[in-house]
């Protein structure tokens, strides 16, 4: 099939997100100017640079009452956020944090998670997440949107601190089987990491002479 997104797809569900999958889940904790914790998952998230390490998350749409979402606003106003890895053992609580709570609600305690202070930024980390990145907001980009109800706000942050549980390391590397990351697919679908294979990057052969 072929379709132009601006003209519609004619299907029962939009296939775009399912065509770009799996995607890491950015479980982002922030803190408001008034000191209220916020936690929400984002399926448009990724590492975008290594020097310095930089991540991004896209906080799209509005709350049901038409107000701005807390995550990007907090990250922009305070200049800080934390990325917590979403894992299989806390997937239900991660899903609960996708609910549109009032700005005065601390989602971390509301869903029964445990918070712990960060070293370099104010937002709290999630104890139940075995990996966390402390981040300083670099830039927030507000992309044009074809829907007034779905503004697009992309937050870029420099990773200034990395926490990895020792139990998730093996032979000096992060062990995927121990972390048990989950990812976002399309529709309401999620996935665990399946078969892993190694494929070294090829390099051009040097000419003999």
pLDDT at 208: 65
Question: Per-residue pLDDT averaged across 92-105, rounded?
Answer: 91
pTM: 0.93
In the predicted model, what is the mean pLDDT of the chain? 94
Among 44, 102, 25, residue whose Cα is nearest residue 70: 102
Whole-number pLDDT of residue 209: 58
Domain ranges for the chain, please list them: 12-192
Q: What percent of the chain has pLDDT over 70?
A: 99
What's the average model confidence in pLDDT over 161-173? Answer: 97
* Arch. (CATH architecture) of 12-192: Roll (2.30)
Mean pLDDT of 186-199: 95
Closest alpha carbon to 93 in 116, 112, 69: 112
Q: What does the pLDDT read at residue 203?
A: 85
| CA 41 centroid distance within chain | 6
For 12-49, the pLDDT digits (tens) are 999 999 999 999 999 999 999 999 999 999 999 999 99
The pLDDT of residue 113 is above 90 = yes
For residue 146, pLDDT beyond 90: no
DSSP class of 206: P
Give me the mean pLDDT over the 191-208 stretch. Answer: 88
What's the pLDDT tens digit per position in 62-79?
888 888 889 999 999 999
Write phi, then psi, for 16 (nearest 5 degrees): -55, -55
The whole-number pLDDT of residue 121 equals 98
User: What does the alpha-carbon distance between residue 177 and residue 184 come to, in Å, rounded to a whole number?
Assistant: 18
């Amino acid at each position: 099939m072929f379709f132009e997104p601006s003209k519609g797809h004619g299907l029962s569900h939009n296939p775009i997100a399912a065509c770009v999958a799996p995607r890491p889940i950015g479980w982002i904790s922030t803190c408001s100017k008034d000191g209220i914790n916020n936690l929400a998952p984002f399926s448009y998230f990724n590492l975008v640079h290594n020097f310095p390490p930089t991540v991004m998350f896209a906080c799209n749409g509005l709350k049901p009452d038409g107000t701005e979402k807390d995550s990007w606003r907090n990250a922009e106003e305070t200049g800080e956020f934390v990325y917590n890895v979403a894992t299989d053992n806390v997937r239900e609580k991660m899903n609960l944090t996708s609910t549109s709570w009032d700005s005065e609600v601390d989602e971390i305690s509301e869903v029964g998670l445990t918070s712990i202070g960060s070293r370099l930024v104010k937002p709290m980390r999630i104890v139940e997440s075995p990996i966390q990145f402390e981040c300083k907001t670099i830039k927030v980009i507000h992309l044009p949107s074809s829907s007034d109800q779905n503004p697009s706000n992309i937050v870029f942050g420099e990773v200034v601190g990395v926490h990895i549980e020792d139990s998730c390391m093996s032979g000096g590397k992060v062990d995927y089987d121990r972390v048990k990351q989950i990812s976002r697919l399309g529709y309401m679908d999620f996935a665990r990491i399946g078969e892993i294979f190694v494929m070294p990057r090829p390099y051009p052969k040097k000419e003999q002479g």
